[in-house]
Structure 1
Amino acid sequence: MFNEKKNSKSFMESGKSQNRISHGTSIVGDIVSDGGFRIDGVINGTLKTPGKVVIGKDGKLDGTLECNNADIEGIFSGKLFIEGLLTLKSTATIEGEVVTQKLAVEPGATFNASCKMESGVKSLSNNSKKDRTA
């Protein structure tokens, strides 16, 4: 019992709450949040979060997604900017532009997008070399 209180307290203090867009919900506009998202409804617009985004089988996002990690089972159309890992499940349909550090695609996923893979580690090491020479 004490562990549950301690874990929930530290979870809330870190600001890493979980947001949910339920089936039957449709949002038009831009969303900015510190917490992660589970999308089972529809979003038309921009979603920005430093957390993880999961688009469920019935979920759809049409616009721009900027997040740390993403798991997609549903439909995405637009621009994806993922700092870490983008995982496309077998039911995923992706169209547009993708910029990510890592990409995992399950067999069966539809991936009709331009994809650029960038590593955040490389840019940090390049900055370190510049600092040493300056």
Structure 2
Amino acid sequence: MAKTSQETNNQLINLIGKGTVITGDIKSEGDMRIDGELNGNITSNGRVVIGHTGKVTGEVSCKNCELAGYVKGKIIIEQLITLKATSTVLGEIATDKLSIEPGAVFSGNCTMENQAQNEKAKNA
């Protein structure tokens, strides 16, 4: 029997689809993709992808992040955050590595060099 995409690597991929609006905090052990809207905080031990239709108002805390949509709030990334050309970030970023494509909008502060791990430890 073939494995479904959710069973690959024994890790679930959580999806908030376009048109879905969630108010509240989300905590996940696995990866997450947001194409809808979240008014709250995300905490994940995996990768968070915010698609071009995705919108987050709150704190994002994860290992890696690919952002093509909109985030207003604090972003704490342990390893790498990539801001795609369609992305808008209003707030603070704490990360080890930052990649910004031409066309991305970032208004706020950025702290680098393992500061993300220090921020995550302070908030724990």
Aligned to 2:57: 62
Instruction: State whether structure 2 residue 83 is matched by structure 1 residue 85.
Output: no
Distance, in Å, in 2 between the alignment partners of 1:9 and 1:26 is: 26
Whichever structure has more helix as a proportion of its residues is 1
1:113 Cα deviation (Å)?
Answer: 1.5
Aligned-residue identity in percent: 45
Q: 1:26 aligns with which of 21, 28, 52?
A: 21
Tell me which amino acid in the other structure corresponds to 1:49.
S
Question: Are the equivalent residues in 1 in contact too, given 2:68–2:86 (CA < 8 A)?
Answer: yes
Conserved 8 A contact 2:6-2:12: no
**Equivalent residues in 2 for 1:12-23 (5 A)?**
12=10, 16-23=11-18
Tell me: CA distance 1:37–1:23, structure 2 relative to 1, closer, same or farther (3 Å).
Answer: same
Q: Distance in 2 between matches of 1:8 and 1:20?
A: 11
Partners of 1:75 and 1:21 in 2: how far apart? 14
Larger radius of gyration: 1
Q: Shift in Å at residue 67 of structure 1?
A: 0.2
Q: CA deviation at 1:10?
A: 6.7
Per-residue CA shift, 1:14-70, capped at 9, x if unaligned?
Answer: xx2100000010000111111111100000111000100000000000000000000
TM-score normalised by the chain length of structure 2: 0.86
Deviation sequence 1:53-105 (CA, Å, 0-9, x none): 00000000000000000000000000000001000000000010110000000
Measured on the aligned residues, the alpha-carbon RMSD in Å equals: 2.0
In structure 2, what is the equivalent of residue 11 of structure 1? Answer: 9
1:42 paired with 2:42, answer no
* Contact 2:6 2:13 (8 Å CA) reproduced: no
Question: What residue ranges of structure 1 are gaps of 5+ in the alignment?
Answer: 124-134
Q: Pick closer, same or farther for the CA change 1:82–1:8 going to 2, 3 Å.
A: closer
Q: Give matches, 1:94-109, under 5 Å.
A: 94-109=89-104
Kindly provide the amino acid, as one letter, of the partner of residue 117 in structure 1: M
